[in-house]
């Protein structure tokens, strides 16, 4: 979803799966901008950024790095900037905030975007169509694509959580809940977001029994979001 939003803003995007791969690509290829997730395997975003800045010290280069994190805790911005990043946005991604952060890094004006209204009411488990369209600059096709992407991705993340519970692996549970929290927030699904956040927190403590109980609650909220997004996709397909 982040890729599609960045492409909508005019960027060509290449994606890697972890911080180590990000570092290797950054030092072997030329990029105008790096959008760096903070929580990643192999190397986290802070470690990858520090490694990139160390490698740049001998070349005089400085590729702008924008932190993207679902943490949004007090002090996170300072930690990201102290690691060598140039800007910071929190997930779920809000297009206006992302545009502002990119404009500050690139020293350009923030492009104006016309709002797209709708009289469709809130779809209960997610935000209203009007507010969701505001988040994607009024692009109905992009919103429909994001909904379809989430419906597929959420199945993968929920399967990962089930696997983590079966194998008593709280780290797997924590990582999948973290990813699910960041993606579901894009659709303003407050109840599902909170359930994923609580599961992530409990998994971090290693409390498997509590994680099982919270997963049952999360599954109910995720199913509500799925129903709402299917209804949303159907509405968008009419126009």
Q: What share of the chain is helix, strand, coil (3-state, %, to 5)?
A: 60, 5, 35
Residue 115 main-chain phi, psi, to 5 deg: -85, 155
Pairing of strands 65-69, 87-90: parallel
Q: For residue 59, how many other CB atoms are within 10 A of its CB?
A: 8
Q: What is the pLDDT of residues 68-89, one digit of tens each?
A: 876 556 677 788 888 889 888 8
Low-confidence ranges of the chain (pLDDT < 50): 108-122
Query: Starting from the edge strand earliest in sequence, which strands make up the sheet with 34-37, in order?
Result: 34-37, 65-69, 87-90
- Residues 119 and 129: beta-carbon distance below 8 Å: no
């Amino acid at each position: 979803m982040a890729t599609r939003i960045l492409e909508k803003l005019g960027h060509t995007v290449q994606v890697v799966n972890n911080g180590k791969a990000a570092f290797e690509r950054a030092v072997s290829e030329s990029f105008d901008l790096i959008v760096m997730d903070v929580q990643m395997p192999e190397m986290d975003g802070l470690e990858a950024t520090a490694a990139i800045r160390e490698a740049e010290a001998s070349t005089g280069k400085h590729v702008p790095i924008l932190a993207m994190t679902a943490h949004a805790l007090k002090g996170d911005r300072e930690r990201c900037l102290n690691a060598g990043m140039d800007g910071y946005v929190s997930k779920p991604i809000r297009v206006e905030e992302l545009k502002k952060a990119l404009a500050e890094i690139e020293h350009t004006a923030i492009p104006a975007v016309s709002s797209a209204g709708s009289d469709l009411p809130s779809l209960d488990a997610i935000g209203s169509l009007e507010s969701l369209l505001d988040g994607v600059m009024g692009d109905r096709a992009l919103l429909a694509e994001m909904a379809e992407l989430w419906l597929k991705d959420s199945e993968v993340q929920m399967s990962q959580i089930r696997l983590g519970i079966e194998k008593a692996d709280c780290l797997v549970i924590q990582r999948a809940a973290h990813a699910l929290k960041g993606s579901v927030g894009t659709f303003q699904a407050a109840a599902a977001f909170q359930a994923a956040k609580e599961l992530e927190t409990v998994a971090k403590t290693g409390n498997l029994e509590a994680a099982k109980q919270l997963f049952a609650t999360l599954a109910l909220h995720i199913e509500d979001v799925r129903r709402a997004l299917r209804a949303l996709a159907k509405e968008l397909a009419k126009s």
